[in-house]
Structure 1
Amino acid sequence: MAKSAKRAENGNRRLSAEERAVRGRSARRKAPRSGHGEFEPPAHRQDPVDVLERQSAGRVADLVPIRYGRMVESPFRFYRGAAAVMAGDLAHTPDSGLRVQLCGDAHMLNYGLLGSPERNLLFDINDFDETLPGPWEWDVKRLAVSLAIAGRENGFTDRERAEIVLSTVRSYREQMRRYAGMNHLDVWYTRVDAEELQTLAAVELRSRGRKKVAEALAKARGRDSLQAAGKLTEVVAGERRFRSLPPLVTPLSELLPGEERSVLEGQIRDLVESYGQTLPSDRRHLLRQFTVVDMARKVVGVGSVGTRCWIILLLGRDGGDPLILQAKEAGESVLAPYVGPAEHTMQGERVVAGQRLMQAASDIFLGWHRLTGIDGRERDFYVRQLRDWKGAIEPALMVPRGMRALGEVCGTTLARAHARSGDRIAIAAYLGGADVFDRALARFAEAYADRNERDHRALAEAVASGRVVAQSA
């Protein structure tokens, strides 16, 4: 990561809290807060379909049409898959010069419920494929725009969408100002747990909304390896195996002919054994108590479709003691062309390092490995449990009050993640106590939502013309 903002540029003297605050306020001269409200595409802006096609070039060819099929469904689905498009646009927006560890794709569906190692249910960011150090504003803008786009698809009025974005950004700003006055350890230990979500629901939502939150929490606690095994596996000739659900889940036994399959199976077994070296010793010991019994290729997400993703079934004591790991390909971050490459030589390590830095608590089996495929090419992967008390957000079912409450908790969560890695005092001082930045981002969110709709239409036209092939799945 970039050198700490707490160091003076011309030496190793640690800046005082007041000096850091002055640094933040001074950044307003370089990037006035109101200036964040403007979005003017660069004169030589890249064609969005070109950007997507370049990304697709290194992906599994037979899965790429599924990616386009998902993205063309709606502007919001397009936005989810177009992080690379927006990264190029964000590089031309105002930048205060203050750096944090970025999620890189902080849209609203990349927040959700997850289980901590202590078996507490937390709310946190849950996708770090694009994580890199960069301007803190980029994550906030990615989140704000996602809410504006989701609000449009739900038929919310201009005023309702503006209130949602204003509340979200205000939550980020006010929480960052609180963190500016806290000790390092207090910031590090902060988290949003299920009890806080229920408290928020009780205050912000009507009875129907509170019921939905309670149902979501209960559902998340049931989403674990045992539940995943019940859904994704079956017993065949006395052995538990992955179900065949192509193209979304395809067992290796159906994916490749005998010799190639045997080679890939051996490589994935080696991956499980070798990646364990990136885990703490106690978790490495736990992993070794499980035995690999089956593997399959899985299609995940929207933007990630076409990247290589393996799910691996392991058994512990018996067939009723499953563990399902997901090994997901990690390529270079879409932010790298604009903020510089990662300091890590392995992209999987980049993802894991960013996740551990930004999340309040991470999966106990989170690690990384470089794998040489059957085509002889080296590819980086990160590994985690497929499900670990994960709960998803369903924006299409939300009313304005519910989406506003969600935006607020997302804003708070993002502020905590940024405060762990960046200069929270300088960022807080830059933001200030007034709502100048909040109002600017409300304008930016609508302007970029307009741009996103045009980009979505460009993809739809490319599909209609046959330039790209889309497939529903």
Structure 2
Amino acid sequence: MSTSPKSRPRKTAEPETAQEGAEPGSGAAEPVGEMRRRTEEYARLARRADDEALVFRPRDLTGQARRLHVRSTIIEDHQVRIDQKAAGAEEKFSVLSDSFFSFFRGTSLLFHRDMAGEDARMPTVLCLGDVHPGNFGVMPNADNVPIFGVNDFDDVIYGPFVWDLKRGAVGFMIAAEEEGGYGRKKQRKIARKFLHGYRDGMAFFAEHNTELNVEMREDNCPKIIRPLFKKVRRSREDWLKGRYLEETGRGFRANDELTPVSSRVEEFQKLVKALAGQNGIKAGGRHGPLKVKDVAMRHGQGTASLGLPRYYVLLEGPSENATDDIIIEFKKARRSALEGLVPAHDFDAGDQGDRIAHGQSVHLAQGDVFYGNVEIEGESFMSRERAPFRNDADLDDFSKKEWKRYAFACGRALAQAHARSDDLGQLDYDIEPAILQAMEPAELFFDDILCFAEEAVLRLREDHAMFRRDLELGAFEVTEKRYR
């Protein structure tokens, strides 16, 4: 198992995984070296942004130059999947092509490179990194009780709090257009509600200091969130039998989503034992004997992570009759899309799986006890429990008022996650007053974020059109190489 994120030394950003170099004599640079070179170039750009009055960023590119930047960034971000001809790579590119909102969700690296080094004067928090309406939802806490909050920690990293607000505002605008069919004026109002919710939440936690023990449950959540809890009122037995287990209940069924790899049970039993030791999970109670019954590969899940290796592990439940079994997910951890791009600071969340586990432990106090980091075949994988009551909002069902209420609730949830950065994270000062002060004057602050968001939406729309054209022309079938 990996060491605690707080005890890890700072490291230079590394590529997602080691790849084989070019064939001898080809004159092409190794993909690993090329990825490292580009990562370091953007890190230098981010550092310059804090030292110089004016810095040219990728978002300043136009026309064909911007098209080439979009193409090369997306290829770089999917280097591993393209080189390995991963089945999920083609599927992901198809998803990104079909939906503007999916393109936004699946190109976080492209988005954040446009912000390299920005907002260095703003207070630092443990950023979620990929804020949008689809990354809030219902999930289990440590007591297996459903709660609402932020639910995707793949990109967590310490950085300026406004980076989450900027991406969140853009996400709400794009989702309100694509899922709600609203025009620019209403999009802006919905995004503003998200910002108001954040400020309202931050002011509340600054005054009451309850961010550690408050949870948004069915009994105390806003009215707009309650339907999410009602939709997950089904038994674990029905969930398991209806979607995952084969007829006898002894293992996973085989279908287009799951491919059983039962030969790896012993290997994953060791991983579960190590994870339990790391997180202090004791056998007994609802966790049962922590015995692995079966293992399966999971296909076609997520947007940003589509095409990355993912395993489901079936644990024997306490009744041992397949009605209360537990499913643990192991997903390949990737580096944060914000790594090397946020302004310089003194905090380190760790690398890959450690970093993701650290994010969950900070953002969701008393969260899923199975969140952790393991190593599989030399690569970092994050772990978490799959639960019958994991659920996201059906955005296309919202009315205009419901969009605003949902945006406000998400803003408050994000504020609570940020407010925990000084209690459970590495910040050594009271973060809430600093953030509230940085948001003054409030109306100017909101207008700045919304103007940024409107410009980003227009830029991303052009990026999406360029991507679709390049996809049709075969641009993402092979990776780029540097020749001499």
> Does TM, normalized by the shorter one, top 0.5?
yes
Aligned to 1:353: 358
Gaps of 5+ in 2: 8-48, 51-56, 423-430, 479-484
* Structure with bigger RCO (C-alpha 8 Å, 6+ apart): 1
Is the Cα–Cα contact under 8 Å of residues 236 and 388 in structure 2 kept in the other structure? yes
Instruction: Report the equivalent of 1:313.
Output: 314
**Counterparts of 1:22-421 in structure 2 under 5 Å?**
41-43=59-61, 47-59=69-81, 61-91=86-116, 93-153=118-178, 154-183=180-209, 186-197=210-221, 199-201=222-224, 214-222=226-234, 224=236, 227-235=239-247, 238=248, 240-246=250-256, 248-252=257-261, 262=263, 264-282=264-282, 287=287, 289-298=289-298, 299-316=300-317, 317-339=320-342, 343=348, 346-372=351-377, 378-387=378-387, 389-421=389-421
Give me the whole-angstrom Cα distance separating, in 1, the residues matched to 2:144 and 2:276: 22
CA separation of 1:192 and 1:281: change in aligned 2, threshold 3 A: closer
Asked if residue 448 in structure 1 is aligned to residue 456 in structure 2, the reply is yes
Q: Return the alpha-carbon distance in structure 2 between the equivalents of residues 290 and 469 of structure 1.
A: 42
- SS in structure 2 opposite 1:134? strand
Give the whole-Å Cα distance in 1 for the aligned partners of 2:357 and 2:162: 22
Distance 1:192 1:461 in 2: 43
Partners of 1:170 and 1:442 lie apart in 2 by 12
Q: 1:190 to 1:345 in 2, by over 3 A?
A: closer
For 1:175 and 1:96, the matched residues in 2 are separated by 22
Deviation >4 Å, runs of 4+ = 43-46, 223-226, 283-288
CA deviations 1:19-57 (Å, max 9, x no partner) are xxxxxxxxxxx99xxxxxxx9814486722322222222
Distance of aligned partners of 1:267 and 1:121 in 2 relative to their CA distance in 1, 3 Å threshold: closer
Distance in 2 between residues matched to 1:406 and 1:283, nearest whole Å = 39
Query: Per-residue displacement from partner, 1:74-106 (whole Å, max 9, x unpaired)?
Result: 110101111111111122544433100011111
Instruction: Tell me how far 1:427 sits from its aligned partner.
Output: 0.7
Change (3 A) 1:190 1:433: farther
Structure 1: gaps (5+ residues): 4-29, 32-38, 202-212, 254-261, 373-377
Q: Is the 8 A contact 1:68 1:469 kept in 2?
A: no
SS in 2 for 1:54: helix
Q: For residues 281 and 434 of structure 1, do their structure 2 counterparts lie closer, same or farther at Cα, with a shift above 3 Å needed?
A: closer
Question: What is the identity percentage for the equivalent residue pairs of Structure 1 and Structure 2?
Answer: 24
Q: 1: distance between equivalents of 2:238 and 2:119?
A: 47
Paired AA for residue 369 in structure 1: V
Matches of 2:285 and 2:249, distance apart in 1:
25
Q: TM-score, normalised by structure 1?
A: 0.78
Report the Cα offset of residue 130 of structure 1: 0.8
Aligned partners of 1:85 and 1:224: how far apart in 2?
A: 39
Q: Summarize deviations over 1:401-458 as a string: whole Å, max 9, x none.
A: 1111110001001111111115111111111363221122222222111112112112
Report the residue type matching 2:361 in the other structure: R
Q: Confirm or deny: 8 A CA contact 1:122 1:192 kept in the other structure.
A: yes
The one-letter code of the counterpart of 2:409 is: V
Q: Which has the higher helix share?
A: 1
Q: Residues 310 and 223 (structure 1 numbering): CA distance in 2 closer, same or farther, change over 3 Å?
A: farther
Cα RMSD after superposing both structures: 2.9
User: 1:344 Cα shift?
Assistant: 5.8
Distance 1:56 1:284, change over 3 A: farther
1:429 aligns with 2:437: yes
More displaced, 118-127 or 296-305? 118-127
Q: How far is the alpha carbon of 1:189 from its aligned partner? A: 1.6
Q: CA deviation at 1:283?
A: 6.2
Closer/same/farther in 2, CA of residues 390 and 232 from structure 1, 3 Å limit: same
Q: In structure 2, what residue type is equivalent to 1:448? A: A
Tell which deviates more after alignment, 302-311 or 359-368: 359-368
TM-score, with structure 2 as normaliser: 0.77
